[in-house]
Amino acid sequence: MDNELIKQCTAEAQKWLSPAFDAETQAEVKAMLDAEDKTALIDAFYQNLEFGTGGLRGIMGAGTNRMNKYIVGMATQGFANYVNKAFAGKKDISVVVGHDCRNNSRLFAETVADIFSANGIKAYLFESLRPTPEISFAIRQLGAQAGVNITASHNPREYNGYKAYWDDGAQVLAPHDTGIIDEVNKVTIDQVKFTPNNDLIQIIGGEMDIDYLNAVHEALVDQEVINRQKDLCIVYSPLHGTGRVIIPAALRTWGFQNINVVKEQMVIDGNFPTVVSPNPENSEAMTLGMQLGTKLNADLVLASDPDADRLAVVCRDPKGEWCILNGNQTALMLSYYIIENKKKLGQLKGNEFMVKTIVTTETIAEIAKRNNVEIRDVYTGFKWIAREIKLSEGVKKYIGGGEESFGYLPFDKVRDKDSPASICLLCEIAAWAKDNGMTLYDLLMKIYLDYGFAYQNAISVTKPGKSGADEIKQMMEDFRKTPPTSLGGSPVVCVKDYKTLKQVCDGKESDIDMPATSNVLQWFTADGTKISVRPSGTEPKIKFYVEVKGEMECPKCYPSATADAKAKVDAIKKDLGL
């Protein structure tokens, strides 16, 4: 074990034995210092938590690399300092503060509101847990200058997080992200103003819920379809989180009348007792929903993650068995329906655009292009989609955008992933499909037949702790030094490096037009395969996103096309040493 690193971490940890920290925290730190094995000490103190694609996120506990009220306090003091500088001279600066269902989320949210108020900034604090998209909406609705949402989204139960938002309701981008970090890094614990100015804290709730629900209704495409299929049998689960009240209410305002909830998962609980992990990407999280769906003979089963920005969809295959859609398929279906049906209803005026991330399926781009809708590619992280909406505000009309990780935004009143609006729209799509004698599964097959079959596979390699971070860094360096020349039996014809913003395609080097650099590599092969690799911004993982194209000549050909594609993905994984 690195003695210099232990020495550095010990020095950091000893600072946490001062009276500025409570007795419980001091005891936790002392136990780490006294332990013979210094692994826990190193993991807790080897770095400060940094803003990634999702903000500040980490395991809860004592330490500079952990989520606790002191790290939250120093982050908020730095954020407050930055906000006061950025809006110097403005009267009545305000922020919105929200939180999810996780353990300590309310404590952290109240701590955030206290510190902003102590710095002369009005804090609109939600009365209780609320969906992430409603926090984004409230910032815009109240004309606030910034916002904070305490959430770790879909991470395991031991995590919590801190999402920083700017005045457009989107997560913070450059130059504000680095500006905030610079201010946070200057803060010492004794500088944090923990004592609130209660006159500057305003509790908000019900009225904002109504405004938000009215806004969500703007994502609706065809009311007549819902009116005809208002008895569509819907099963919904909030996975113990923030969607529990808002999403059933949103579905009712759209006109759906047969809404059934998974009662065991309507209970607010940061320990998520009914699931291994509250992540809609994990099929086991949908087990109770599918059981209820079977009992009720439901048309579809839906869930939102704990902060209700991501969603999961389960529909029936031709055998009547439940089929869980992946994030690419969900985004594909939403994008297809928005374009096709807005076009049929004469709602497309020619100035619309859609946005997807660079790792999301290229079939969305194909649908947009064939229907003369502009498509834009952005980095992973919904703040980049929000940036495109802001850049075109008042000039071009945003009609939808999403990413493969189960996040979509079908309207522009929110600037983050929005599962309430997306779930409502998916139920409208299911109603439209039923109106046309199809299931959601049938509709997916139709999209593949019309626009081409593609199969996606996301591979996450977890490398925890300091050693893991070093290993991930080395993997990216090795891929840059010696990129693959062939993947899955097809030659690599294009390499894109978003860290240098250079690409080499068919032997020719050129620049990549993006607003910033990012630690992402992409390889494209002659047969249309796309592979993207990047370290996660919020978890100790390196992620690989594989999309392969295939032949599918009929709906019944889907299983064989999928099997062929999976075999190709296995060959690609072998080529990459995974």
Cα–Cα dist 381/151, whole Å: 15
Q: Concatenated DSSP letters for 39-77?
A: HHHHHHHSS----BTTBEEEEBSSSTTSBSHHHHHHHHH
Nearest to 203 by CA among 271, 140, 144, 125: 125
Q: Where are the beta strands (DSSP E) in 167-296?
A: 201-204, 234-237, 259-261
Residue among 153, 419, 422, 532 flagged as catalytic: 153
Question: How many C-alpha atoms does 78 have within 13 Å on its Cβ side?
Answer: 23
Can you tell me which residue has the tokens 């048309």?
299
Cβ atoms within 10 Å of 128's Cβ, excluding its own: 15
Can you tell me which residue has the tokens 């249309």?
528
Q: Which helix (H) or strand (E) holds 548?
A: strand 541-550
Catalytic status, residue 153: yes
Nearest to 289 by CA among 236, 244, 232: 236
For 490, which DSSP code?
A: E
Tokens of 456: 């996606």
Q: Can you say whether the dihedral through the CA atoms of 520, 157, 291, 284 is positive or negative?
A: positive
- Give CA separation, 516 vs 86, 173, 175, 379, 386, in Å: 22, 10, 11, 9, 15
Tokens of 303: 């869930």
Sheet holding 259-261, edge to edge: 259-261, 234-237, 300-304, 311-316, 322-324
Q: Would you name the residues annotated as active-site residues?
A: 153
